[in-house]
Structure 1
Amino acid sequence: MAFSSGGKGPMADINVTPLVDVMLVLLIIFIVTAPIATFPIDVNLPQRVINPPPQLKEPPPPIDLRIDATGTVFWNNGQIAVSELQDRMIEEVQRDPTNQPELRIDTNPDAEYDVMAKVLAAAKNAQMVKIGFVQD
């Protein structure tokens, strides 16, 4: 508070000069930076389609592939040798390459990684694209 020279007591007015200075500085900063922040951004928005695409075919039933702790592989609850796995996968893919069944792999945590690696290599070599892992 400033003291008045008139003698009747302290003067209770607020000094607004620093506030006005800060506001003018902020105003100048906003005026300078506003044109910089208004550059155009190209966005590719989807266009309306007059003719909708044809309905997709119903996907075939998924293949449940299970690997137990001993390394035995089961194809839809039927035991299969790892050496026969790639031929069976190729057969499934060749039925309809555009509408493949999903391969769901369920592995026991105690199974050997070598068996899992052979299963994934067989799926890759058979060109299976829909591969999922089952989690408990």
Structure 2
Amino acid sequence: MAAVAEQKFPTDPEYDQYNFPTTAPEPQHGHPGHTTPEQDTQVQQLRAMLEQMGYTERLDTLTLLRFLRARKFDVEASKKMFVNCEKWRKELGTDDLPVTFEYLEKPDVFKYYPQYYHKTDKIIFKKTLGGDYFAFTLDLQ
């Protein structure tokens, strides 16, 4: 097995626009910033194969590395896993869920777990236990 390269995480500006750290803090084989040149090539191969199949979303390097690690960097097995995942997402409608989700239980949940917000920065929880009210704030700073 080739030694893991200590390097800056190679990103592709067409796919990778991250606003958070991308290099794993601890050197772990196959994780961002700790990949071999062969693994970087496998990411590019997987991306090219998926693009040929018509996939255009979730082709960023971090996502593809997750699928490759899950299949021990077997590109064909990773492709199959990615395709199955996308099929599952489409069947369940996970991409539309934040827009179409109806939280019908909210009034009942709120009755037992009410939550309010301080006018500037604190979440206020109010709990009723046996007729007694307990209130506390959560400081977000």
| Higher share of residues assigned helix | 2
TM range (shorter): under 0.3
Q: TM-score, normalised by structure 2?
A: 0.18
Which has the bigger relative contact order, CA under 8 A and spacing at least 6? Answer: 1
In our comparison, the structure showing a higher alpha carbon Rg is: 1
